[in-house]
Structure 1
Amino acid sequence: MAEQNGNLQKEINNIVWRACDTFRGTIDPSQYKDYILVMLFVKYLSDLHRDRYDALKEQFGDDEAMIQRRLQRERFVVPEGCSYYDLYEKRNKDDVGEQINKALEALEDANKKKLAGVFRNIDFNNQHSLGETKDRNRRLKNLLEDFHDERLDLRPSRIGSADIIGNCYLFLISHFASDAGKKGGEFYTPDEIAELLARLVKPESGDRICDPTCGSGGLLVKAAEQVEDGDFAVFGQEINGGTRALAKMNMFLHGIDNATVEWGDTLNNPKLIENDALQKFNVVVANPPFSLDKWGADDAQNDQYARYHRGIPPKSKADWAFITHMVETAVNDGGRVGVVVPHGVLFRGSSEGKIREAMIKENLLDAVVGLPEKLFFGTGIPAAILIFKTGRERKDVLFIDASREFESGTKQNRLSEANMGKILQTYEKYETTEKYSYVAPFEEIKENDFNLNIPRYVDTFEPEPEVDLAAVTQEIEETEAALVEVQSRIKGYLAELGIDGTGGGDNE
């Protein structure tokens, strides 16, 4: 069964990926991803609806009124004329883009609690993105026909596990991020980084999980998957409306229907509010934009939620602003925060140094994990993961230098399961390992002026091997003797040929 599902997964992934040929070379991947992913989602809703209709038809026969009433209670409602199959029938119309827009709007309206705002940021009739009418219609027709492949039948009764659709969605997002280059890092965290971060913070049954810069939602999905009994609540916020829509669809395709994903600027306009205060979460994870400039430092002094009581980060680098927000939204006892950061966060001074010092003195920092270079889209620099915990009992900090252990790739490096396993095991044991990890007492960190630069704590220096002078001398002598012998043979060969081997020529 696992092999069968694996083959089906690959088949579906490949079919949908080939649908991207409609746009390649004419539209940037960071844009055409929206059209592909929305169409996949609509196809999924349509096949889900078709499956339920067939089941109800078998149950109630020709009682169409009863069937329609029952369909109105389903997980998603698909109004008449709004399914993928309805759109496919309209693929040759001159206004096919407008027809798709109207169907998406009706789908939103029929599922307001779940799909509000999901499709409003995508325009299938956009001349700027899709070209003039003739070209636009041709591309949309091709797109609809690509998804009509009979092997792309996404009915649950056919494919079984709903994970196949969610996995396909993540597969597409990862490939779009790779093709989009620098822009890819704005909406996607590499799968193994998301997995590692989720396993480091260990979400548990009953936890509220949050990502305040959630992108397309991969970190939230990975964190939620750690809770085996499904008893969790998911929250996110994303500044880009189109990317927020991707996150919403991602949640649904992974069966997380109760996710709250807000649209807005987390630092300047946090939307996850409860009783006029920041909501609190058991687990907070994020891969915020590195060293974001112009993040709102001028207004931070008057922040109504008093997040910056440890100090205000510099105007040109928002890293500690995001970290501060995350720590402030963790529950007061037992909260876990995991955040991906550039290495400058570990050692830069001034206001950042003061914030770092304050958090260490408050005994919030639990671990610093150094990662290899070239793991992330959009930047080749190595990053680190910081783990914070509220209500810690121990006073030391674990440093892990995992920068040298990875699988090489052409565009990017990646962490293997063994690489991740070593990090997780070391964190679990919380122990010093030669040239890999070090448990630093508070006093040592204080002596280092609260500088967290990993080489200060984990010594990975490999000394040059000692040179055996006697052996080297003997090797040189043996080489010289061999050279004399070779030269002698060459002179002999030249003499046999009647050639003067002393260096003079016959033309003198």
Structure 2
Amino acid sequence: MALTADKKALIWKTLNETRGKIEPAEYKNYIFGLMFYKFLSQKAENWLAQQLRGESWANVWQQDADKAATFMQSKLGYVIQPGDMFSDWQAAINIDQFNITNVADSLTRFNQGVSQNAKATFAGIFDDMDLTSSRLGSNTQTRTKTLMDWISLIDQIELDEDSDVLGDLYEYLIGMFAANSGAKAGEFYTPHQVSDIMARILTAGREDKASYSLYDPAMGSGSLLLTTASYMHNDGVRGAIKYYGQEVITTTYNLGRINLMMHGVEYNDMHIHNADTLNADWPDGVTDGVDNPRMFDAVMENPPYSLKWDNTNREDDPRFKAGVSPKSKADFAFLQHGLYHLKQDGRMAIVLPHGVLFRGAAEGRIRKQLLEHRNISAVIGLPEKIFTNTGIPTIIMVLEKNRDTDDVLFIDASKGFEKQKNQNRLRQEDIDLIVETYVKRAGVDKYAHVATFDEIKENDFNLNIPRYVDTFEEEEPVDLVQVNQELMNVQDDIEQQENELLTMINELAVTDDSQAIIEATKRLLGGQHE
């Protein structure tokens, strides 16, 4: 059963009230780390209950620890020793025998017990939980107390065994932390409404594929990967969907790995890398002088907008055959990287600022070549203020490698949204209209237009949406006779009010002071009432 919006809001309120002076951006590392450890513990305990059939994990471990560890590793990819479960921490708290070293030692043993083939998935995943930080307390005693409060709080949150429920809560909390952690924090989070549009476009007509490979080279929290997978009919089938992603910020990289696993993605279906996508082509790419990139069914990106990057000596990089992006704006570098890793029959969607549609020089040349190679399939204009980290309006660009036609679908969806306190929000009907228009690929008055290549060429390969979608609403003609009559009526009303005012003044008892007021009023009204 899914968590209700009220339940989510209550959990967020309760969590947020316990953070004290710790900023949300840092607090989330501890909360998500503890939530994830509880998730892994429950997963291990559920698996052990099926395997041991009443025998205790402590007894099995005592008889042959190495064999027991290998057994759990082979199935889960990790080992949690007896006494190190999340429930063991809470039990120690209940009998006043808990110390912060309980957590530190458990995490150390967890890291040591990850199987070799799961190292890439689990290595360093709890490193952001700095248990020695003075923000938790000035000494071991106060830090222990802080951790006890958080563990007891998370223990009260009923983490359903259904990964969809747990993942849904986790995704909600990611969004709340992003919204409350300042502008920069929003970089790791793509609002679900935008993810939903991209996912539905990427999978349209392909939902029945038996296997599917996804790639996000600027993955953030991994929400784009997960949302795209959710529209595949084989979502949740082990081995059916392979998840690939790269993220340069280590803390965000950990966040993304946790998010995927909290949504039930198995460790051997994940291939997540911590590196700079533009500087280190991954996965595969050029090895020993041979270009051998891995290709994907779907590529999705919401990269940092107009990022500065090192564009020197990039001319021979096979990813940037259409041209090298200027060093002040890496938008087209991210786009070309994703397109480079797309299968011939694949589909790609990327969020970008509007500038990529019309900026000239190197970007203009790249845009021209992409159009000449029929790579750009659609341009979708989104409303402003729908992201937590920027108020600027953005676009979704859809690309393919092997299209039969050279036209481009333009959709102006900038006016379809619900206004909220600090942000705008795409409603379900807005999302549905965008996707339905993309699938039908036909013009819609004042909303969408399919532009031919010749039309785009006439515009000098400028893709600015207003050049193709006319949203101008003509105002009704003004009836000048009616306006003149209304002005005359207003003038008559004014004269009537002035006459009534002077009549009232004349009826007053006259003194030297009031006479002065009467004369001043008459002068103000122009003397026409004397």
Q: Is the contact made by 2:410 and 2:451 (CA closer than 8 Å) also made in structure 1?
A: yes
Pairwise CA distance, 1:423: 0.9
Pairwise CA distance, 1:452: 0.9
Match of 2:7 in 1: 11
Give the counterpart letter for 1:132 in structure 2.
S
Alignment of 1:156-171 (within 5 A): 156=161, 161-171=162-172
Match of 1:488 in 2: 499
Q: Is the contact made by 1:127 and 1:133 (CA closer than 8 Å) also made in structure 2?
A: no
Q: Of the candidates 311, 318, 336, which is equivalent to residue 347 of structure 2?
A: 336
Q: What percentage of aligned pairs have identical amino acids?
A: 33
User: Residues 424-444 of structure 1: CA distance to partner in whole angstroms, max 9, x if unpaired?
Assistant: 111111122222111111111
Match of 1:147 in 2: 154
Q: Of the candidates 86, 89, 98, which is equivalent to residue 87 of structure 1?
A: 89
RMSD, matched Cα: 2.7
Pairwise CA distance, 1:128: 5.5
What TM-score do the two structures reach when normalised by structure 2? 0.85
What TM-score do the two structures reach when normalised by structure 1? 0.89
Q: Of the candidates 299, 302, 308, which is equivalent to residue 284 of structure 1?
A: 299
Q: Is the contact made by 2:89 and 2:98 (CA closer than 8 Å) also made in structure 1?
A: no
What SS is found at the alignment partner of 2:368?
Answer: helix
What SS is found at the alignment partner of 1:282?
Answer: strand
- For structure 2, the residue ranges without an aligned partner over 5 or more in a row are 522-530
Pairwise CA distance, 1:482: 2.8
What SS is found at the alignment partner of 1:145?
Answer: helix
What SS is found at the alignment partner of 1:348?
Answer: coil
Q: Is the contact made by 1:287 and 1:339 (CA closer than 8 Å) also made in structure 2?
A: yes
User: Residues 289-312 of structure 1: CA distance to partner in whole angstroms, max 9, x if unpaired?
Assistant: 01111x220132343xx1111111
Match of 2:243 in 1: 234
1:345 and 2:353 aligned? no
Cα distance in 1 for residues equivalent to 2:158 and 2:520: 84
| Alignment CA distance shift 1:235-1:285 (3 Å) | same
1:23 and 2:19 aligned? yes
Q: Is the contact made by 1:195 and 1:222 (CA closer than 8 Å) also made in structure 2?
A: yes
Pairwise CA distance, 1:118: 4.4
Cα distance in 2 for residues equivalent to 1:439 and 1:94: 65
Q: Is the contact made by 1:335 and 1:390 (CA closer than 8 Å) also made in structure 2?
A: yes
1:407 and 2:414 aligned? no
Q: Which has the larger radius of gyration?
A: 2
Q: Relative to structure 2, which stretch is displaced further, 79-88 or 401-410? A: 79-88
Pairwise CA distance, 1:414: 1.2
Match of 1:43 in 2: 38
What SS is found at the alignment partner of 1:300?
Answer: coil
Alignment coverage as a number of residue pairs: 489
Give the counterpart letter for 2:338 in structure 1.
M
- For structure 1, the residue ranges without an aligned partner over 5 or more in a row are none
Q: Is the contact made by 1:100 and 1:124 (CA closer than 8 Å) also made in structure 2?
A: no
What SS is found at the alignment partner of 1:235?
Answer: strand
Q: Is the contact made by 1:188 and 1:218 (CA closer than 8 Å) also made in structure 2?
A: yes
| Alignment CA distance shift 1:472-1:327 (3 Å) | same
Cα distance in 1 for residues equivalent to 2:277 and 2:428: 33
What SS is found at the alignment partner of 2:379?
Answer: strand
Give the counterpart letter for 1:191 in structure 2.
H
User: Residues 78-108 of structure 1: CA distance to partner in whole angstroms, max 9, x if unpaired?
Assistant: 2223211233355567961x44233123223
Q: Relative to structure 2, which stretch is displaced further, 359-368 or 373-382? A: 373-382
Cα distance in 1 for residues equivalent to 2:122 and 2:489: 82
Q: Relative to structure 2, which stretch is displaced further, 111-120 or 409-418? A: 111-120
Alignment of 1:149-228 (within 5 A): 149=156, 152-154=157-159, 156=161, 161-202=162-203, 204=207, 205=209, 206-228=211-233
Q: Is the contact made by 1:109 and 1:116 (CA closer than 8 Å) also made in structure 2?
A: no
Give the counterpart letter for 1:222 in structure 2.
T
Q: Is the contact made by 1:430 and 1:439 (CA closer than 8 Å) also made in structure 2?
A: yes
Cα distance in 2 for residues equivalent to 1:275 and 1:300: 13
Give the counterpart letter for 1:136 in structure 2.
R
User: Residues 208-259 of structure 1: CA distance to partner in whole angstroms, max 9, x if unpaired?
Assistant: 1110110110110001101022232211111112211111111111111112
Cα distance in 2 for residues equivalent to 1:263 and 1:80: 31
Q: Of the candidates 444, 449, 465, which is equivalent to residue 438 of structure 1?
A: 449
Match of 2:525 in 1: none
Pairwise CA distance, 1:48: 2.7
User: Residues 42-96 of structure 1: CA distance to partner in whole angstroms, max 9, x if unpaired?
Assistant: 1112223333444556x45679549968756543642223211233355567961
